[in-house]
Amino acid sequence: MTDGPPFLRFPSGGVLGDNIIIGGTYLNVEKQEYSVYAYNTRTKLWTKLEYEEPSSISNSSWNTSFFCTDTAKHVLLGTRKTSTSLLQDYNDRITNFTDVLEIEVEGYGVFANAADSGVAFSRAGQMFGREAMRDGLADMEIICFDSKREGDGDLDSQQDGDGISFLSRTKRIGVLSKVLETRWGEYYLSLCASAPGVSGSMRGNMRVEDKSRVLFIPERYEVVAALVEWLYMGTLDPTWDVEILGGLLSLARAYRIGVLRRQTVLRLHEMLEMSYAEETDAVRENVFNAAAAAGEIGLLKRGNKKASAKMGS
């Protein structure tokens, strides 16, 4: 944490969750740079958001910025290399739009709250999902990997042979196709449109076998069952651990389920907050691994910063 920002010229910014993000040109005798800060309205603390690339500071001239809520990035516009200096460009009122620099604000603990993550379904929609799950209504099946058993090894790397051994390591979940169509959306519909006419090997990427009404998702049963529950209910079960949430995050990114991704990222950030307060390294390490597997750069950087800070203390 740091003191409040110095006098920033031509400031701009935005709001994300409990945070106000602001950037502007800072000029004094010793330092001339474009600075970005975040203020947490809940903790009343300021954080300076550093450039990820050290080379972006020297000989650069960033002159304006804006905050993109959808990507949780503060975007700077300017040039990475100027023949003059930021101070001279400022005095001459020269603006540059040659380069773009993005700062991942989630890496500094700046993230959305529950209201910003989006509401998946209405209360009536949740009631329908609850009733449909309870009654076991289904007109198709999702096939996924059974949980690993001792001695099974890596399911993804084993050969199918005639397919019998593969099927013995899978589980099936009955679902309503209408739920997938309306709540998964365009990605699922495009998958159905490109489905092959005959059933083939079920390995590889997720695919639909339209004649047998089967959808294969190459993931563990617990994760796929959680995905199905979310598609029916639109909420994350508070009992789901980091491994299940990490699997959901990977599926949400791969299969373009935006609201699920935002909800899962928020939950993992909250678990990180709790792990810092309780000093539980195991949770922090699991969140770090989940973020790395899913390619969530902001969450990954935040976990890495905390781990580095602890090592240096």
Q: What is the pTM of this model?
A: 0.72
Please determine, for residue 308, whether its predicted confidence score (pLDDT) is greater than 50. Answer: no
Binned at pLDDT 50, 70 and 90, residue 21 comes out as: very high
For the stretch 252-298, pLDDT in tens is 988 888 888 888 988 998 888 887 766 667 788 888 888 888 888 88
For the stretch 90-127, pLDDT in tens is 888 888 888 898 888 888 888 887 666 666 677 788 78
Cβ-Cβ contacts under 8 Å for 225 (sequence gap 6 or more)? 173
Confidence (pLDDT) at 168? 61
> What does the mean pLDDT of the chain come to?
78
Confidence (pLDDT) at 245? 95
Binned at pLDDT 50, 70 and 90, residue 199 comes out as: very low
- SS in 3 state form for 16-78? ECCEEEEEEEEECCCCEEEEEEEEECCCCEEEECCCCCHHHCCCCEEEEEEEECCCCEEEEEE
Please determine, for residue 249, whether its predicted confidence score (pLDDT) is greater than 90. Answer: yes
Confidence (pLDDT) at 193? 66
Binned at pLDDT 50, 70 and 90, residue 239 comes out as: very high
Q: Which residue has the higher pLDDT, 25 or 213?
A: 25
Q: Which two tokens stand for residue 17?
A: 């969750």
